[in-house]
Chains A and B, each alone.
Chain A
Amino acid sequence: MTIPTTPDVASEPDADAPRARRPRRAESNKYSGGWFARRLPWWFAAALLLGGAFLWIYPFLWMVSASLKNQLEIFGAGLSLIPEAAEWENYSRAWNEANFSTYTWNTIIVTSVTVLLVVARCAMAGYVIGRYGFAGKKLVMVILIATFFVPTGYTIIPVVEISQQLGLLNSLTGMIIAMSGGGNVAAILLYAGYFRGIPKELEESAVVDGAGFFTIFFRIMLPLAMPITATVTLMTFLATWNNFFIPLVFSLSRPELRTLSVGMRAFVSENTTDWGGMAAAATISLIPLIILFVLLQRHFVKGFAGAIKQ
């Protein structure tokens, strides 16, 4: 693999750099002065990383480029990323004939309802766990922590079975409920930690003003937890949009319930030679995520980095 070695090579100037090279470079390069010479190894590293960055996003560039090429060009025109003439035909084929309009719609419905359910239930559970003592609290905590890392492959068979018994298999509702019920322990703990840190006086003064449990939670606590809600929303959105296993088994016998991730696999197994259509379909599925990421980068990074700051 050439791609991952890039940072390896680039780290050399980091290790032994500034002191060793400074005098030599400064002499040979009269006009640039000391600042430039000192920074030179870093610019060199940046150049290498830039090359690596291009390789890194190459699959996406190739995907978008192929989605705009016609069949002949994809197979014949070699490595050029810029299509001769934009071929929007690929998109209309993916959108209409390959049902990606349905898949997109399904994904949007499933994702938004799941996010809503997960945020609501995790905020409520986190609030109670973080701020109150109650009988059985220890048991709840033990169960939550013990099931932290359960993989979907392990629980999938009973999940399908229970959905079938409830009459929820082969429906978007069933898919949504199954996704809202799995995992999300991290979100509960995140909320619990945040609510625990809010000073007691706040609650007490609200009680004096006559606020009940319900009012305190929805009017005071929940708005205060906005930063946590933002992180949980984003992480749940990503996990649900990208979920594959559950939508796959819930739509095995009802193709019209497929989400984008499942629809993609079905599309290529039915149209093995339609590269343009495949690339257009993949672009339709991934572009919303990429745009969202570029806009909300900082929040994404914060959400993921949370796992390490315990």
Chain B
Amino acid sequence: MALTLGGRQEARPPDVTKRNRKQRFGRQQLWIWLLLTPTVLLYGAYTVYPIIASYWYSFVEWNGFEAEKTWVGVQNYKDVLADDLFWNSFKITILFMLVVVPLKVILTLLLALLLNSPKLPFSTFFRTVYFLPVVTTAAIIGVVMQFVFDPASGPINQLLVTLGLSDGGINFLGDSSTALWTAAGIYVWKWFGITMIYWLAALQTIPDEVYEAARIDGAGAWHLLRRITIPLLKPFMIIITLLSFEAALKVFDLMLTLTNGGPYYATEVVEIYIYRWAFSATIPQLGYASAAAVIFGLFVCIVGLFQLYGVRAVQKARAAQ
């Protein structure tokens, strides 16, 4: 790499400049690594090393209190894969993803189409309001929502009683049949704005001239949407959906504060499962938790690969246009 850079510069005959350049080149390399040092150290110790170390930990038995780690081979993996609760948490993570992502992607598209129209009054105001929950702290939203959905005095139940829709006392978050769906609803509300902004950014890539040309040809509003907007949005659809899948894997903050994984593990996503074994058990099982983390990490990796593949396909399609 370094050689190509040096070689690209035009050759200058005098010997003096050559030595000068060599000197400066060496000093430059020093500066380069000096500027990279903070990233190499911090990122290396807190992201790269942990990824590798997780593999090592997953083969030992270790309670975290003592330094001693006992090699147990693949026993942790066997135990994790034999644990029904692990599969339960895996199932909930995927179910949650499958419910939340289509709901969010489709609803935000509809809203973005409306907001993108210059004819809609107050569109900036709406954009601000619908985006607002995104900037707030998920862990605090989780706590506040516990109260909003409280079975006895929460405003949602009070509203349902006032409207005569129920006798009150619906335990949205405390009943294992409704807890996950309530959490899904809150999640969609919380992260709605971010997907909406993605769609608005995507819509802005379509030049006005395209619409004008079609309108001159006599296309109506419905026609414009079906034949121009939707086809042009398709590549973005792939990226936005994949980004949403990726994001839906990270619900630890909201879930832990909202339901703590309960009731009866009904909302225990994989990250909470790992946390429970590693930090909130009376005797932490760090090796066991690491094995679960490695399996989860591989799963995330697969989703990530799909994403990379999707982005590549989109870039190719765009280049071909």
| Residues of A that sit less than 8 Å from B by CB | 1, 3-5, 7-8, 10-11, 14-19, 39, 42-43, 45-46, 49-50, 52-53, 56-60, 62-63, 66, 74-75, 78-79, 117, 120-122, 124-125, 127-128, 132-138, 140, 143-144, 147-159, 161-162, 177-178, 180-184, 188, 213-214, 217, 238, 241-242, 244-245, 249, 252, 260-262, 264-265, 268, 275, 278-279, 282, 285-286, 289-290, 292-294, 297, 300-301, 304-305, 307-310
Interface residues, chain B, with chain A CB atoms under 8 Å away: 1-2, 4-5, 27-29, 31-33, 35-36, 38-39, 42-43, 45-51, 53-54, 57, 64, 103, 107, 110-111, 113-114, 117, 119-122, 125-148, 153, 155, 158-159, 162, 185, 188-189, 192, 194, 197-198, 200-202, 220-222, 225, 236, 239-240, 243, 246, 249-250, 252-253, 256-257, 270-271, 274-275, 278-279, 286, 289-290, 293-294, 296-297, 300, 303-304, 307, 311, 315
Contacts of B243 in A (CB 8 A): 307-308
Asked if residues B50 and A162 are in contact (CB atoms below 8 Å), the reply is: yes
**Cα-based distance from A39 to B36 in the complex (angstroms):** 57
On chain A, the residues within 8 Å of B139 by CB distance are 242, 244, 261-262, 264-265
Chain B nearest CB, measured from A195 CB (Å): 11
Measured between alpha carbons, how far is A122 from B39 in the docked complex, in Å? 7
Beta-carbon contact of B240 and A308 below 8 Å: yes
Q: List 26 A-B contacts (CB under 8 A).
A: A4-B107, A14-B113, A39-B119, A124-B38, A128-B32, A134-B33, A147-B47, A151-B250, A153-B270, A153-B275, A154-B296, A156-B278, A161-B53, A162-B53, A183-B47, A188-B39, A241-B137, A282-B144, A289-B136, A290-B135, A292-B135, A297-B131, A300-B131, A304-B194, A307-B198, A308-B236
User: A151-B271, A308-B198 known; 9 other A-B pairs, CB under 8 Å?
Assistant: A8-B107, A19-B220, A53-B130, A59-B148, A66-B147, A154-B51, A242-B253, A278-B144, A308-B236
* Minimal Cβ-Cβ distance residue in A for B280: A252
Give A137 to B220 CA distance when docked, in angstroms: 53
Q: Judging by beta carbons under 8 Å apart, are A15 and B36 in contact? A: no
> What CA separation (Å) do A50 and B194 show in the bound complex?
19
Residue contact B114 to A135, C-beta cutoff 8 Å: no
Whether B103 and A242, one on each chain, are in contact in the complex, defined by CB atoms closer than 8 angstroms, is: no
At the interface, is chain A mostly helix, strand, loop or mixed? helix
- With a CB–CB cut-off of 8 A, which chain B residues contact A289? 135-137
* A147, B51: Cβ atoms closer than 8 Å: yes
Q: Are A14 and B198 within 8 A (Cβ)?
A: no
Q: Which residue of B lies closest to A249 (CB)?
A: B279
A123: nearest residue on chain B (CB-CB)?
Answer: B35
Partner pick for A301 among B113, B197, B297, CB 8 A cutoff: B197
Complex alpha-carbon distance, A137 and B32, angstroms: 11
Do A45 and B120 have beta carbons less than 8 Å apart? Answer: yes
